[in-house]
Amino acid sequence: MRMDASQKNILQLNRTNIVKDLDPSNVYDGLLSRGIFTEDMIDEIKSAGTRRDQARQLVKDLQMRGSRAFPAFLECLRETGHHTLVNILQSEGPVTVPASLPVLPSAVPFPISHPIDGKKPDRGDGPQKLVPLKPALPILSPEGESLAPRLPRPRRESIQSYKIEANPCGLCLIINNVDFDPASDLKNRAGSDIDCDKLKRRFESFNFCVTVRRNLKCKEIKHQLSVLASTDHSLRYDCCVVVILSHGTESNNNRFPGAVHGVDGRSVPVQIMTNYLNGKNCPSLQSKPKLFFIQACGGGEKDTGFEVSPDEVRPMAGGMDDQTDAIPTSSSSDSLSLSDEPDARATLPTPSDILVSYSTFPGYVSWRDSNTGSWYVETLDCILEQNAATDDLVTMLMMVNNEVSQISAKGLYKQMPGSFNFLRKLFYFQTSKT
């Protein structure tokens, strides 16, 4: 159940008093033990900054935590000696605080009475004429839903944005594999340097500190990710970006599919790469967005598309030198076994605040022109240039999907980018126009 509108109003009206008088650290444990917030949510509030900033964020988040949040907050204030705040919040209207949670309010609160005109009756004068006050809480249906009409609200009010304000805003690692060991049976990736230069300039324009590493073997890829994970991002940076330009293949994992190859032919599953930066292995990036952009094949299958009305697509031809970044499905010998990675186990909790953008759908090839670069990177760079000042990342990636889907290789083959999105908020890049 959502928090009642009257309780939200009480919190909003008294926000100044709460921010002035409350030390949020006093109530974190109580709200955590009552199940109002999780540890991640409390960490997010702590990251707001000063005591006052944390108190403001606490008030805002409480309003999103359901019908039990307000009574629980009052209980925590009482337990920690904030009696003045309790009196202020309750003076706005009678609020029934249960002795212990969880206890939901009764369906119809018992009417509270008081004398007419607020005059106290003299003892022994006999019964006084009483009038009931309005119930403090709304009448609830048997299913627990409020029967009172809800006020309209903006559609995106509940979707927050990540704070991207640091200077520089974060680190960006670009791994550009171009020249492959002949023994790997992988062709060199002509045109990848064009992709690398485009994305380096683009992320520098978004105020990232960009590092480029070229022609890395499998172990070297893992080492660079380990270095990135061991960096202290907590105070200096608000986010992190990893770009992989390489050959790719299929790899069956329960979260993020696919794998990318080092120049020695061995592969690193995408899931292992993301694990380096998840909340457990990189604590300084907890609750901060981690973005992965992968230009590599997801497999060896070529997509010939399906027939649609001419009005649905704009014909866009690929280049004359289109190549793919695919090799056959990886075998156990070139996949990264979990025993090789004790610090990045597949049994970790599902990662939050991670987005992986793939140049192609799992199992299919990804096309690259040796003269102009890959379809995906060229389109991504163009969309970011034109829309980053106004649109969030997920919206822009849908634009990329649409544009790339219009292109054809050799007049026949298609490509469909996509993403696995575990972000919890909207992500906006820093731009000169924001």
Using the structure block, give the residue that is written with the tokens 């009409």. Answer: 149
Residue 87 is assigned to a structural domain of this protein: yes
Residues 184 and 48 in one domain: no
DSSP state of 295: E
Residue 97: predicted pLDDT = 40
Using the structure block, give the residue that is written with the tokens 């990329």. Answer: 400
Asked about 114 being catalytic, the answer comes back as no
The CATH number that applies at residue 20 is 1.10.533.10
Residue 227: predicted pLDDT = 97
Residues 247 and 386 in one domain: yes
Helices (H) and strands (E) in the chain, counts: 12, 16
Q: State the Cα–Cα distance between residues 279 and 350, nearest whole angstrom.
A: 10
Residue 384 is assigned to a structural domain of this protein: yes
Residue 114 is assigned to a structural domain of this protein: no
Residue 266: predicted pLDDT = 94
Q: Looking at 82, 233, 247, 261, which residue is catalytic?
A: 247
Q: State the Cα–Cα distance between residues 239 and 209, nearest whole angstrom.
A: 11
DSSP state of 426: B
Describe the crossing of helices 192-205 and 375-387 by its angle, rounded to 10 degrees.
20
Residue 40: predicted pLDDT = 78
Asked about 233 being catalytic, the answer comes back as no
Residues 69 and 188 in one domain: no
Residue 143 is assigned to a structural domain of this protein: no
Alpha-helical regions (H) of 248-392: 270-276, 375-387
Residues 73 and 215 in one domain: no
Contact indicator for 198, 373 with CB cutoff of 8 Å: yes
Residue 412: predicted pLDDT = 67
Q: State the Cα–Cα distance between residues 364 and 205, nearest whole angstrom.
A: 32
Residues 281 and 193 in one domain: yes
Residue 118 is assigned to a structural domain of this protein: no
Residue 198 is assigned to a structural domain of this protein: yes
Residues 44 and 184 in one domain: no
Least Cα distance to 22 among 1, 53, 62, 43 occurs for 53
Contact indicator for 247, 211 with CB cutoff of 8 Å: no
Residue 65: predicted pLDDT = 85
Q: Looking at 76, 196, 282, 297, which residue is catalytic?
A: 297
Q: Considering its fold, how many domains does the chain have in total?
A: 2
The CATH number that applies at residue 227 is 3.40.50.1460
**Residue 124 β-bridge partners:** none
Residue 253: predicted pLDDT = 62
Per-residue pLDDT of the chain (434 residues; tens, 9 = 90+): 567 888 888 888 888 889 888 999 999 999 998 889 888 788 888 887 888 889 888 988 888 888 889 999 999 999 998 888 888 888 754 444 444 444 333 333 333 334 434 444 343 444 444 334 334 444 344 444 444 444 443 444 457 899 999 999 999 999 999 999 999 999 999 889 999 999 999 999 999 999 999 999 999 999 999 999 999 999 899 999 999 999 988 776 667 888 999 999 999 999 999 999 998 899 999 999 999 999 987 444 444 343 434 444 444 445 445 554 544 333 322 332 222 223 333 333 446 899 999 998 766 677 778 888 898 999 999 999 999 999 999 999 999 999 988 886 666 677 889 899 999 999 999 998 65
Q: How far is CA 168 from CA 110, 165, 269, 431, in A?
A: 58, 8, 29, 12
Cβ within 8 Å of residue 359, ≥6 positions away: 294, 295, 296, 325, 366, 374, 375, 376, 377, 415, 417
Residue 432 is assigned to a structural domain of this protein: no
Residue 270: predicted pLDDT = 93
Among 60, 91, 122, the domain boundary falls at 91
Residue 331 is assigned to a structural domain of this protein: yes
Per the structure, the complete domain to which residue 11 belongs is given by: 5-91
Residue 342: predicted pLDDT = 30
Among 91, 112, 147, the domain boundary falls at 91
Residue 246: predicted pLDDT = 94
Among 70, 91, 112, the domain boundary falls at 91
